[in-house]
Amino acid sequence: MSHLTADDLRQAFAAATRALERHREAINALNVFPVPDGDTGTNMLLTMRSAMERCPTATDSTLAEVAGGLADGAFWGARGNSGVILSQFLKGFAEALEEKQVCRAADLAWAFSLASDAAYQAVGQPVEGTMLTVIRSLSLESQECQEGGGEGPRDLWEKAFRAGQEALDRTPEQLPVLREAGVVDAGGMGVVVIMGGALAHLNGTGDEQVAMAVARGYTGSDASRTAGLDAHYLDSVSQIQWGYCIQFVITGEDLAAESIRHQFVEISESAVVVGGGRSVRVHVHAPDPGPALSLGASLGQLNQIDIQNMNQQNREFAAGLSTAVSGGELAVVAVASGDGLDALFREVGCAVVVSGGQTMNPSVRDILEAVESAGAKHTIILPNNKNVIATAEQVVKAKNGVYVVPSDSVPRGVAAMLAFNPEESAENNLASMNSALAGIVAIEVTKAVRPATVDKLKVAAGQYIGLLEGKIVAAGEVPEQVLESALALAGMSPSHVVTLYLGAAADRDDAEALSQRLEQRHPGIQVDLVDGGQPHYHYLASVE
């Protein structure tokens, strides 16, 4: 093969995207650096999918059009640090091929060189032992091969791929965090998979090259989330305050990426800024998103704003990996909204908590990805909302070893979780968790969004309403009074335990006063208060 055509390049990167799809979770399992701001494998895959969407498919497309389409799509669809760096890799690659009809070995070496330069320029403070190192190593190898002469583009690609593998092997020697965790760099692994997937197409060998890369001991099984991580590392990473991951696109006139990058470096130790001209993409990590947004707004119009709480992501990251470290035979995935509820479910043994619930129901993909990230042989889902049960049941159809305990409220989900025993079989846990659902009377207090009359009870818009087992039974202006009315209808005896989950808008003093009144009016009952932090529901309550 003396050269690559436009179609060769398109098909090679399509194969690379398929390789990322197959090995996304294996790459995600390595996601320990620089911060857990979204799974690296997923971010790189979504970036490549966006690149392929902009890649022209017409048979008469030129090499420059194909490479340029890949770069343009990646820029607009870049996700996370790894995705932004990948987009710049494709940008540099495209720049080298702008005037080319076909891609010969010398052109490919130049493309890898410009790709490496663009990737490094995107990062305010480049760190070795990351995907940048892997990219540079394959670039240097391709240049050395070209200087030696006699190589075709396929042979050069293969040698660059192998150089990337070797560089990936060395990443734990360069970064203490990787050495401590016992893994190679996730972004670097993504680059190796991309290079291997493309090479597999150029060689006509299917997935052997990528399979070989994964089998070399980087990640273990795709289903595993351990990736060599140990409990000591999980303990240390859980103590770090990560702050926020802030991403947006600035649009304006004559935007200079390098100048803008210097400004963001002053407020963030992790700043990636790419683009130029009319559009610049910014990805920074900071303890407060405000200064980054203000700086960006001072430079132009902000679009595609995305802010992620990395402290919460870190909790999910550590909890999911802890499950895998402890054996990974059986895990529970719960759906809940609110920092307090998130922490509660994790404390009682949930491997992963999917953010969602009323007004923000998660998708089948959201829950499926959580199940896969738990990495267990068998997984039980707690929907914790009647509108999420059907979605969870679709996940059962999509993946073997998944079961649903149909908790229709958070209180029932908590009860089911308290009945969970990781030492028991999935079958025994399903029986005990389903049984626990029946022993709970669930109450919810929220605000009415419109006036209504339900069973002769008139409700005005904006009033607090109390729902007992999903039926409106009380309404009023004071949430604690509404909750008291609903609890009275639930019927309480001295043996009952009442748990009140305080929403984000609830007042702790008011809740404690209510707790004292309930214990005085119903001698012998136990009232527990939990800071749930849930939106929309002033209180959730259970009687058991």
Top mean pLDDT of 65-69, 150-154, 435-439, 517-521 is at: 65-69
Selection from 292, 294, 260, 293 nearest residue 276 by Cα: 260
pLDDT at site 12: 92
What band does 1 get if pLDDT is binned at 50, 70 and 90?
A: low
Q: What is the largest CA-CA distance in the chain?
A: 91
Same-domain check for residues 187 and 260: no
Number of neighbouring beta carbons within 10 Å of residue 347: 10
pLDDT at site 83: 86
Tell me the CATH number at 251: 3.30.70
Same-domain check for residues 232 and 270: no
| Residue 319 within a domain | no
DSSP state of 361: P
Q: How far does CA 66 lie from the centroid of its chain?
A: 30
For the chain, what is the total number of helices (H) and then of strands (E)?
21, 15
| Residue 316 within a domain | no
Same-domain check for residues 295 and 333: no
Pick from 222, 238, 254: which residue ends a domain?
238
pLDDT at site 219: 42
| Residue 53 within a domain | yes
Same-domain check for residues 255 and 403: no
| Residue 320 within a domain | no
d(CA 241, CA 404): 34
Tell me the CATH number at 39: 1.25.40.340
Does the pLDDT of residue 313 top 70, yes or no?
no
Greater confidence, 348 or 392? 392
Selection from 62, 58, 90 nearest residue 74 by Cα: 90
| Residue 258 within a domain | yes
3-class state of residue 228 by DSSP: coil
Residue with token string 């707690």: 382
Same-domain check for residues 484 and 411: no
Same-domain check for residues 208 and 357: no
Same-domain check for residues 198 and 63: yes
pTM above 0.85, yes or no: no
Query: Are residues 119 and 92 in contact, defined by beta-carbon separation less than 8 angstroms?
Result: yes
**What integer best gives the mean pLDDT of the chain?**
83
Tell me the CATH number at 486: 3.30.1180
Same-domain check for residues 213 and 349: no
d(CA 89, CA 83): 10
Mean pLDDT value of segment 340-352? 85
Write the pLDDT tens digit of every residue in 413-456. Answer: 999 988 888 878 999 999 999 999 988 899 999 988 888 888 88
Least confident of 236-245, 278-287, 329-338, 474-483: 236-245
Full domain range(s) for residue 269: 244-309
d(CA 426, CA 405): 11
Mean pLDDT value of segment 194-202? 89
Pick from 219, 238, 257: which residue ends a domain?
238
Same-domain check for residues 268 and 225: no
Same-domain check for residues 175 and 207: yes
Write the pLDDT tens digit of every residue in 351-396. Answer: 889 988 766 788 888 899 889 888 888 999 999 988 888 888 998 9
What band does 117 get if pLDDT is binned at 50, 70 and 90?
A: very high
Write the pLDDT tens digit of every residue in 212-255. Answer: 554 444 543 333 333 444 444 444 444 455 678 888 999 999 89
| Residue 315 within a domain | no
Same-domain check for residues 56 and 193: yes
Same-domain check for residues 452 and 424: no
Question: Which residues, at least 6 apart from 265, have a Cβ–Cβ distance to it below 8 Å?
Answer: 124, 125, 271
Pick from 183, 208, 238: which residue ends a domain?
238
- The number of domains in the chain is 4
CA distances from 512 to 43, 89, 145, 411, 490 (A): 44, 57, 73, 19, 20
H-run or E-run covering 117: helix 105-121
Pairing outcome for strands 352-355 and 330-336: parallel
pLDDT at site 358: 67
pLDDT at site 206: 59
Least confident of 35-49, 220-234, 339-353: 220-234
Tell me the CATH number at 362: 3.40.50.510
Question: Which residues, at least 6 apart from 42, have a Cβ–Cβ distance to it below 8 Å?
Answer: 24, 28, 79, 369
Paired tokens of 366: 């959201």
| Residue 193 within a domain | yes
| Residue 1 within a domain | no
